[in-house]
Structure 1
Amino acid sequence: MKFNFTIPTDQAPLTVKNLLETQWLVPRKVRHFIRTRKSFLVNGKAVHFQTLVTPGDHITLTLEDSDYPQRVLQLGDPQRVHVLYEDEHLLIVNKPAGIKTHPNQPKETDTLLNHVAAYLAPKQLQPHVVHRLDKETSGAILFAKNQFVLPILGRMLEEKEIYRRYQALVSGKITHDLVIDKKIGRDRHDRRKRRIDEKGGRSAVTHVRVVTATPTKSQLICQLETGRTHQIRVHLASMGHPIIGDPLYGGKPASRLMLHAFELHLVQPFTRKKISVTAAPGLF
């Protein structure tokens, strides 16, 4: 793999070592290979790891396949991939409801990851999951197109630099916007479920904006501050407003779970380009 970068204008000068280690999170073993192979070029020339790189410098980085070994992944159907955004490193697709994000068994072929793998196979690339959506949830989901960018996106997710907004249709009337700040843990009686657990759970914060409300149902926009399993579903159910179509948490029957990842926003980590996608048509 050969990558070309131009150091952005807002990047402070730093050494090659620091760029690879602290900014790009390249593992120590791979950094050693890059140094011994002299495969990091600045403006076309091999440099020492203590060399400063500055805004405007052109970087060429060559990695061997053995630096990041690929795993075996069954190929699905590329025709089932609806691309919302794509560049050299990132891929955002619109996930349908009723399909898993990734396989749990080695021979599975009918998950979104399998289908995206088939889409990228002609380019000799393999996708990597950055975050997941529940099987019943639809909408925008981000994949890394190589293992080089994967830890960078993972850190962005942890540091809340990837913003996701969801549409939800819930039972009952919610009259005002709110922030739900309740810890979430595993349900000891049902391994499929999560529950509010203020003592042993993990911190979970969901911002809720009311779009419309009637006496029987409300249309909401939910933004995640954290990304716990089933977070929006558990939080809304805990307020007495389960998502319609969610039998796991007491929602009224419907054709599907009425939860859709409508928007995804982030800054491309190498170019600093702002990326905003909308997974239309959505629920409302």
Structure 2
Amino acid sequence: MSMCIKRQIPIIFENAHYLIVNKPPGIPSQPPDTRTWGRTHPGLDPTPLLDRFKTIYCSYKQVELYRTVHRLDHCVTGGMLIAKTKDASIKFSRFLQKGGNKGYKLLRKYVAIVERPSCLDKRFNDQVNNGSHYNSLVSHDGRQITKFKLIDEQCIVLQLVTGKKHQIRQHLSQILNQPILNDQKYGSTSKLTTPFKDQIALHSACIITKIGLQTQTHLIPMKFNNTGKLWSRRYVNEEGEFISQIKDVLIENWD
């Protein structure tokens, strides 16, 4: 199989337990509701990422056992973990559901570019908790929590504590009044045309795992439609690598 096809879903890292892939925009990570997908996403293939991966990498040993354990919205790019065994899938899922020392540890950090600086005074908002190393966005009586740290007034690094649907997008838009660039569903007024129609400036940029005593930190480059238009050269170079200031925050320990 040609490398051109495999670049469609490139593998960033692989070991005996899991793979990290770099998800392109426009691909759902779970099977969508086929009754509404065609209407809400005209012309967009509903085939989920794992099915595409298995087709591309069909020669991989026991590829049919592979499972995704978390999701990314179709318009979000970046790192996704694919468990290679049933045991790994169960243990990563257990950590995501229960946290603490349950299962295999899986932390996810994202980089977002927001459309405008916040006009919200965080000191008087009970949904923003200020801390010494990071701040937190909290909603739904504490059932949805996102840690975050500002790089500058338009670039934010975020870490999911809980992982509800559209959580980061909602928290930035509804609590900080900072919709993600090109995220028209949550208030962005920018209307970037093709090839950005199904891509917003939110990227899964760092995945940290811990299995036993071994911790692995994976940085995932932003290489999709990387022209400097959606992701400014202030933050991402021509090779898709984030600037050192962002990388330093991505690998910080926020536990």
TM-score by length of 2: 0.65
Out of 138, 154, 157, the residue aligned to residue 181 of structure 1 is 138
Distance 2:57 2:96 in 1: 23
Note the C-alpha offset of 1:105: 7.4
For residues 157-208 of structure 1, what are the alpha-carbon distances to aligned partners after superposition, in whole Å with 9 as ceiling and x for unaligned?
223431111111113224986311111xxxxxxxxxxxxxx5xxx7001112
Out of 106, 110, 114, the residue aligned to residue 170 of structure 1 is 114
For residues 16-50 of structure 1, what are the alpha-carbon distances to aligned partners after superposition, in whole Å with 9 as ceiling and x for unaligned?
xxxxxxxxxxxxxxxxxxxxxxxxxxxxxxxxxxx
Aligned to 1:211: 151
Out of 166, 173, 180, the residue aligned to residue 230 of structure 1 is 166
- The answer on 1:159 being equivalent to 2:98 is yes
Q: What's the Cα RMSD here?
A: 2.4
Quick check: which one's strand share is greater? Answer: 1
Note the C-alpha offset of 1:273: 2.0
- 1:1-284 pair list within 5 angstroms: 78-104=6-32, 110-122=47-59, 123-126=61-64, 127-160=66-99, 161-174=105-118, 178-183=135-140, 198=141, 203-213=143-153, 218-239=154-175, 240-253=177-190, 254=192, 255=196, 256-269=199-212, 272-281=213-222, 283=231, 284=235
Q: Secondary structure at the match of 2:172?
A: helix
Largest Rg, 1 or 2: 1
Q: Secondary structure at the match of 1:212?
A: coil
Contact 2:14 2:20 in 1 (8 A): yes
Aligned to 1:62: none
Aligned to 1:51: none
* 1:124 alignment partner AA: Q
TM-score by length of 1: 0.59
* 2:215 alignment partner AA: K
* 1:94 alignment partner AA: N
For residues 41-64 of structure 1, what are the alpha-carbon distances to aligned partners after superposition, in whole Å with 9 as ceiling and x for unaligned?
xxxxxxxxxxxxxxxxxxxxxxxx
Q: Percent identity?
A: 26
Note the C-alpha offset of 1:244: 1.3
The 1:125–1:234 alpha-carbon spacing in structure 2 relative to 1, beyond 3 Å, is same
Which range moved further: 131-140 or 254-263? 254-263
Q: How many residues align?
A: 184
